[in-house]
Amino acid sequence: MYSFEDIQRCFNGELICIGDKTLVRFDNAKPLQDANIYSICWIKDGAELETIITKSPAKTFIISRNGEIQDFPDKVIIRVDNPRLRFLQLVKALFIKPIEYAIHPTAIIHPEAQLSSTVYIGPHCVIGKCILGEHVIIQGNCYIYDDVTIGNHVNVMPNTTIGGNGFGYERNEDKEFELFPHIGGVIIEDHVDIGANTCIDRGTLGSTIIRSGTKIDNLVHVAHNVVIGKNTAVIANALIGGSTVIGDNCWIAPSVTLRDGIKIGDNSVIGIGSLVLKDIPSNETWVGSPAKKFK
C-alpha cells in the first residue's frame, strides 16, 4: 500500500496537497469509472471536479494547480502542473515492473552482433550483424537486419522489421524490374519507441535515420532513406515515402501518406488521413487529400 510520501518522492515534492495526508492509501491506479477506495486517479482539466470527486469512491486525486477547489473531509487532492504527465510518471514509478534483461533461447543472434549487457530480446527474434545500445527492448518475432544501429533506451514492439530492402526498382531494356541495391543501413537514435507490425527500410546508399525521442506507432511504413527528426510522433497506419525528410517536433496523424522526396518542416502537424504531395514549411498545419494549409 502506497502513501503520500511515495507521491511526494515521485514528484520531487513539487505539489500542493489539500486534505489530510494520512488518508492517502492506494494500491492501484484506475480510470475514474473503475476506481475503488484504494485507487489513485487523475482528473483532466475542464472536468467538473467537485462532482467527480464527490461521486467517486477513490480517496486520492491528482488535478491541475489551476482553478479553485473545495476541501473534502474524506478525500486528498494533489495539485500539480501538468497532472496527466505527473500521473503517468507516478504509474511508471510505482506500478510498472522493471524488465529483466535477457535473450530468449529461441532468438537467433548473428555472431558478430554487438549487444550491450542491458538488452531484452524476445522469442523468435532474428538479430543480424547490428549494434544494440543499452536498455534496448526487442519484443518477440522482430527481424533486425544487418547494418542497423540502435541507440540507448529504445523499445521495439512485436513483429516489427528494421533494415529490410526498400521498394526501389528500375526497369531494364526488357522492361523488367531490377532492384536498386540497398547497401545503406538504418540508424535509430536514443529514446525511440517503435510500434508493432512496423517496417523501417534500409537506405539505398546512405542510411534511413530516426532521430532521438521520436515515437512511431503500430502499422507504420518508413521507406528507404527517410529521415525523421527529434521528438516527432508518427501515428498508426502512416506511410512515409522514400527520401522524405520530416523535421523535429512534428505530429503525423493516423493514415497520413507522405509522397517520396518531400520535406516536412519543424513543428508541423499533418491531419488524419491527409495525402501530402509537396513540401510543408515549419510551424504549419495541413489537412486533406491532397493536403492544404489549414487556416
Active site residues: 224
What whole-number distance in Å separates Cα of residue 191 and Cα of residue 202?
Answer: 20
**Backbone region of residue 111 per phi and psi (left: phi > 0; alpha: psi in -120 to 50; beta: other values):** alpha
Provide φ and ψ at 180, rounded to 5°: -65, 130
Is there a contact between 259 and 218 (Cβ–Cβ < 8 Å)? no
Sorted by sequence, the CB contacts under 8 Å of residue 11 that are 6+ apart come out as: 80, 86, 89, 90
Nearest of 46, 43, 81 to residue 61 by alpha carbon: 43
Give how far the C-alpha of residue 256 lies from the chain's centroid of Cα atoms, to the nearest Å.
17
Rounded CA-CA distance 115/247 in Å is: 30
Q: What are phi and psi of 5, to 5 degrees?
A: -60, -35
The single residue listed with the C-alpha cell 473503475 is: 34
Whole-angstrom Cα distance, residue 106 to residue 122?
8
Rg (C-alpha) for the chain, rounded Å, is 23
